[in-house]
Each structure stands twice: as structure tokens, then as C-alpha cells.
Amino acid sequence: MKEKLLIALSQSLKGYLTESNATRLIQKILRTLEQQLHASCLYIAQQNKKTSYLDITHSHNISRNTLNDFHKRIGSNTIGRIFFKDSFNIITKAGNADDYEEMRIDRDYAMCLAAHIGWEGRTYGFIACYFENEIEVDLATRNFFLAMAGACSAALEKEELLKMISELRQFDIETGIYSHQYFIRRLEKEIHDTQFEPHTLALVILDMDNFKSIINLYGEEAAHDVYKSSAEVLKKHIRGCDVLGAHGIDEFILFMPDTDAQRAEQIIGEFNADLASHKFTDNNVATSFSCGITQLRDNEDDLEELIRRAQVALYNARKTADQTISIEL
């Protein structure tokens, strides 16, 4: 038995090194536990940050109804003890009745093995493994279960890290606004949504007028500082539902749901007026933006054409000395 568990553990750890998808890795770990320990069902429970209750996030051989109905509170009870600190627990039908009832899901069971899962001081939840008949839990079985729980902890840490990386990729490092790639994905979705729930949508491209001259006078760092500060001013004039993204090194791109071109022109005009009262960096640098505005036509679903019109409008604004904003419908 000991050698068999060591082989299974070795194979699982190899899987951790080669499997890039954390969810698939956890499912492999749960299946390995089922096969090697002859468990009837298994799950990982994690705290729902919105409700503070525990939800089952990964499972094997558990019905959908049970997954939906599982909402356990974390307290100074058995679950709270396992969740926060206990590395290894054995709950049996013949043991403490309160512990047994608290760990019950949708069926009777003879034994449950449970362990806290966490990584470097962070608590992710716990893993529970159920048996229809009691098994002998020797040192090899205990160590195997804890090693697999540890692999789950590492996989969940990887999953958390990948989420953080994904979130970071949404943002432009320089300004903290959305990256151009993420902005385009959001705009594509918004255009798609208008085909089912028609609504107006304004698109604005804003170009910083003196970016190159600031570089020539004060250097690239000063120009980027002014660009970033301008983004903060612009954010004050747009709503939470408006989406602002980077567009090159000296431009912003913005879409505004439920807004037509004329209303967008008014908002951008207010932004430019506000911006004129600001001076940036230690050199008291002022700036302004030329802006091209368009709006989505009825039943339009061509992203490139929409952006092209905004660029044409921006070109017209640039070439007109007394006009900072132009509209192309």
C-alpha cells in the first residue's frame, strides 16, 4: 500500500509540473485521491468573498444540487477549525456526533478525512474526502492525503496568481487605465450587445497636442507624467459605465454607452476646459487634447469602421486651428 501511494504521489507531482491549467490539475488530484483511497466523493470548499459562506469550488462525484445547496458558515465549529488551522482531521460516524453532522453533505458516510489548504500564511479553504466504509489510516495514508492537499494548495496559489496576472494585463502600466487590447475586447462586446439590446454608443479618440514638444523640452518622463495626469483629469468627467483605454503613447480611446456624439462632445469640452486650468510636473507644463468623436449607427456591427470614423474626426480636429473637437457620423 505504501509503495502504491508513493507512486501515485510521484505521478501527481509530475502532473503539477506539467499541467498549466490549475483547475484541471485539481480535478486530477481529486480523481487520484478517489482511486487510491477508494473514496466515494471529494470536494474543496472555499470562502465566498461576497457572502462569507463556504462554497464548493472543486468536486468529484457530488451532484449539482448538492453543490448549489452547500452554504456552510465558518465559525468556531468543526468547519471553522478545519478551515483556519487543522492540518488533518478524521471524522467518523462512531465519533463525535456534532462533528459528523456538521460535515454531512447529501448522504450518510462512515468516515471523512479533511485538511486545511493554504499557502504561505494564506488560507484557501479545506479539502474533504468521504468514505462509505471506514479505512485504515496509517502514516502512509495520512502523509499521502496531506501531500495531495498540499498539491491542491499549490494549484490554488497558481490559480490566484494567474488571475492576478490576467487582471494586470487589463491595465496599461503607465496610466492605470485599460490596455488597448482589453479596451478593444470590451468595445467588441458592447457592439455585440447592441444587436440584442439597441442603445446609442459614442466613441472618442483623444490625442495629446504637445506630447512631442514636451519630450523635446523636458524629456520622455515628463511627457509621460503629463499624459498620466491628464488621464486622472479625464476620469473625473466620465461615468463608471464609460470605458477608457490607452491608444498609442499619447492618445486615449473612450467609449460611452447610452451616449450620442453631441453629448460626448459636451463632456469632452468640459474635460478640455478643466484641463486648461491644470499645470503638471515641476516645470508647470500645460497640455490640451484634439478629439475625434463618432457614434454607433443603427444595426452597425463593424468595429473597424467605427474606429476609422473616430480617426477621421480626429484628423479633422487636428488640421483645424480653432477647433479641438470634431464629429464624424
329 residues of the chain, pLDDT tens digit each: 555 555 555 555 555 556 667 788 888 889 888 988 999 999 999 988 777 789 999 999 998 888 888 888 887 688 888 888 767 899 998 888 888 998 988 888 999 999 998 877 778 889 999 999 999 998 888 988 988 888 888 888 877 777 766 666 677 766 778 888 889 988 999 998 888 888 899 999 999 999 999 999 999 889 999 999 999 999 999 999 999 999 988 999 999 999 999 999 999 999 999 999 999 988 899 999 999 999 999 988 899 999 999 999 999 998 876 778 999 98
Q: What is the pLDDT of residue 177?
A: 87
Q: What is the pLDDT of residue 64?
A: 86
pLDDT digits (tens, 9 = 90+) for 296-306: 999 888 999 99
Fold of 180-327: Alpha-Beta Plaits (3.30.70)
User: Residue 125, by phi and psi: left (phi above 0), alpha (psi -120 to 50) or beta?
Assistant: left
pLDDT digits (tens, 9 = 90+) for 65-81: 888 888 888 876 888 88
Give the separation between CA 296 and CA 200, rounded to whole angstroms. 6
C-alpha grid cell, residue 168: 494586470
By C-alpha distance, which of 47, 55, 22 is closest to 151? Answer: 22
DSSP H helices, the chain, are 2-18, 22-37, 64-69, 78-84, 97-103, 139-169, 180-194, 211-218, 220-235, 261-275, 303-319
Place of cell 479641438: 324
Q: Residues of CATH 3.30.70.270 domain(s) within the chain? A: 180-327
Report the CATH architecture of 2-169: 2-Layer Sandwich (3.30)
pTM: 0.56
pLDDT digits (tens, 9 = 90+) for 151-171: 888 888 877 777 766 666 677
Q: What is the pLDDT of residue 255?
A: 96
Q: What is the pLDDT of residue 252?
A: 95
